[in-house]
């Protein structure tokens, strides 16, 4: 998780600066670790991470009206010990995503090109359509898009709603979740899967922006996307790449 954080926080990649973004890992059914509030991805160490109990954090989902003070109280209470720092408020959606089947790592960033699209009228096209085969391999055939809502419980509930709708409709856990006017969440079984999905999403966003400047983009057709997504050779590559 620390290595993944430093990869995602690399200044040259422009995914996150200062205290932006956060990462997490599932430790067991009952516990997870998440970046602490105020620490930086680029040089994250154990002291910048909080070991938390999952259940108290998930219980916040029952209280959409929870105040900022109440959220802070629950997050402090969820820590394994008083030596742990206060978890980021975004720990709420991390706790939910880490409860999904086969999801062990989550990386949330604010990549520049991805955010250019998520702060534009093209957000829905970027989330649901695909431009090239490797984007499908690393990012999945389509991604849920979450409209802008206030951080904290409302955002966590909106993410849960869109991810559950995606699972219901497509029968698989998405690799990416896109947040309008906010950023990107990559989720996977391994740190590599999270890094690959983030890198490829940012590359796809740059290609989208480039294509838009010359009259495009021209998206792949649904049947072409489905063929790549279901292609055995690609599944083999995903396995080899640890995706």
Using CB under 5 A, list all residues that contact Zn ion: 183
In eight-state DSSP terms, residue 87 is B
Q: Which residues contact 161 (CB under 8 A, 6 or more apart)?
A: none
At its nearest, how many Å lie between Zn ion and the CB of residue 199? 18
Cα–Cα distance measured from residue 144 to residue 133, given in angstroms and rounded to the nearest whole number: 19
Instruction: Give the distance from CA 205 to its chain's centroid.
Output: 16
| CB closer to Zn ion out of 152 and 183 | 183
Comparing every residue's Cβ against Zn ion, the nearest one is 183
In the complex, minimum distance from the CB of residue 137 to Zn ion, in angstroms, rounded to a whole number: 26
Task: Write the burial class of residue 198 (CB in 10 Å: 0-12 exposed, 13-18 middle, 19+ buried).
Answer: buried
Nearer to Zn ion, 18 or 226 (CB): 18
The token pair at 168 is 């219901």
For residue 85, the minimal CB distance to Zn ion (Å) is 18
With respect to Zn ion, which residue has the nearer C-beta, 114 or 137? 114
Comparison of 48 and 183: residue with beta carbon closer to Zn ion:
183
Closest distance of CB 223 from Zn ion, Å: 35
Residue the block writes with tokens 């996150």: 16
């Amino acid at each position: 998780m620390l290595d993944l954080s430093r990869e995602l926080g690399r200044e040259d990649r422009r995914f996150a600066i200062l205290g932006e973004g956060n990462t997490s890992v599932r430790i067991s059914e009952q516990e997870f670790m998440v970046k602490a509030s105020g620490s930086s991805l680029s040089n994250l160490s154990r002291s910048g991470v909080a070991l938390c109990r999952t259940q108290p954090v998930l219980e916040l989902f029952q209280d959409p009206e929870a105040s900022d003070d109440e959220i802070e109280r629950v997050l402090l209470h969820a820590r394994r010990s008083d030596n742990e720092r206060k978890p980021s408020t975004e720990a709420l959606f991390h706790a939910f995503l880490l409860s999904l089947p086969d999801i062990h790592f989550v990386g949330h960033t604010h990549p520049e090109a991805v955010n250019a699209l998520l702060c534009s009228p093209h957000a829905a096209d970027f989330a649901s359509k695909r431009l090239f085969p490797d984007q499908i391999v690393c990012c999945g055939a389509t991604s849920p898009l979450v409209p802008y809502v206030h951080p904290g419980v409302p955002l966590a509930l909106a993410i849960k709603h869109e991810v559950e709708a995606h699972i219901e409709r497509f029968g698989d856990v998405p690799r990416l979740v896109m947040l309008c006017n906010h950023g990107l969440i990559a989720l996977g079984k391994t740190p590599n899967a999270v890094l690959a999905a983030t890198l490829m999403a940012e590359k796809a966003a740059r290609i989208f922006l480039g294509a838009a400047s010359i009259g495009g983009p021209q998206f792949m057709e649904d049947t072409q996307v489905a063929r790549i997504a279901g292609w055995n050779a690609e599944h083999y590559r995903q396995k080899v790449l640890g995706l």
